[in-house]
Amino acid sequence: MVFEGIVIHKVPYKERDLIVKLILRSGALGSFYIYGGQGGGKHHKPTIFELGSMVRINIREQNKSKLEGLELMVASETQRLWEPDQLRHNIQAFYLVCLYFEVLQKFAVNFQLGFSDQNQSEHEGLFSVMSNALFYLNESLKSGKFQASQQLMFFMTKLLFHMGIMPETDLCSYCGNSLMDSKIVSFLPSDGHFACGNCVNAENDLGFLFRLKKGYQTKYQNYAELTGSNFQEADKLIQYFCHHFHLRPIELKSYDLLMRMS
C-alpha cells in the first residue's frame, strides 16, 4: 500500500528511527514508523522527513487482520517528492508553517487501516489548501516577496472556506442590509459574522472585509494580489477559528512565537 502526503509532525524514536505524521492526499492524517528515518549513521545520510516535505511511503504488507484499525503503519520504502527548500533560511516562515500544522491537527481526522478509505475525497480540499500554502510560501521566499501576515491571511481564508465556516461577507448578520453599502462594518470573531454600523458600534473592519472577500476570490498562485494585509487582521481569523473549535489562541504555541517576532 502506498501513501503520499506532507510531513506535519515528527518525533525521533530510539537511536535512529522516526515517527512521522503526514497529511495524506485524502486529507486525513496518517502516522508512520520509519526505521532509520532520522538519517545519520555511517554514511551520514540526511533525513528526507523535514517538516513540510512531500513524501511517498510504502508500508509493509502484513496479515490483514493484524493491521485492522492500526493507526501507526510501518514503512518499508520511502521517497521524498518535494521539499520547501527555502524554509530553513527564514525562521518566521518556519514558525508560520508550524502554525499551519498545529491548526490542522486541531480538527483533521486520523487515518486508520481497514476503517478509513484511502480514496475518499471528502477532505481532499484540505490537502490542496495545505500543499498550495507550502508551495507558494516557498515561492514567495525564493522571489523575495514573503510577507508572513499576507500568507497567514490567505491560508486562513482558504482553510475556513474549505471547512465551510467562512464568515458571511455580503450581509449584516443583524439587519440583513448589504455590508458594502455601509461605511462602517464590524467583525465579531465570536460569531464569525459582520455587522453594519447601524447595528453594532465598534472598530471599523471595512478593510478587513475587503481583504477577506479578495482572499476568497483570488487563486493561490495570485497571492501577491492580496495587498495591505496585517497581523491584526489575520488575528481576527485565528480568533474566529479558535472560537469555533473551543480553543484559546494561546494553545497554538507557534502562533505565540510568530506574534513575538512580528
Binding site for Zn ion (CB under 5 A): 172, 174-175, 196, 199
CA distance 138 to 76: 29
Asked whether the beta carbons of 194 and 224 are under 8 A apart, the reply is: no
From the CB of 206, what's the least distance to Zn ion, in Å?
14
Nearer to Zn ion, 19 or 206 (CB): 206
Q: How far is the CB of 210 from Zn ion (least distance, A)?
A: 18
In the complex, minimum distance from the CB of residue 219 to Zn ion, in angstroms, rounded to a whole number = 31
CA 151, 261, 108, 76 dihedral sign is: positive
Residue 197 C-alpha cell reads as 454600523
Q: How far apart are CA 214 and CA 219, in angstroms?
A: 10
Which residue has cell 497554538? 252
| Dihedral sign from CA coordinates of 241, 131, 150, 167 | negative
Shorter beta-carbon distance to Zn ion: residue 129 or 196: 196
Q: How far is the CB of 47 from Zn ion (least distance, A)?
A: 54
Cβ-contact 108, 100 below 8 angstroms? no
- 34 or 172: CB nearest Zn ion: 172
Of residues 166 and 172, the one with the C-beta less far from Zn ion: 172
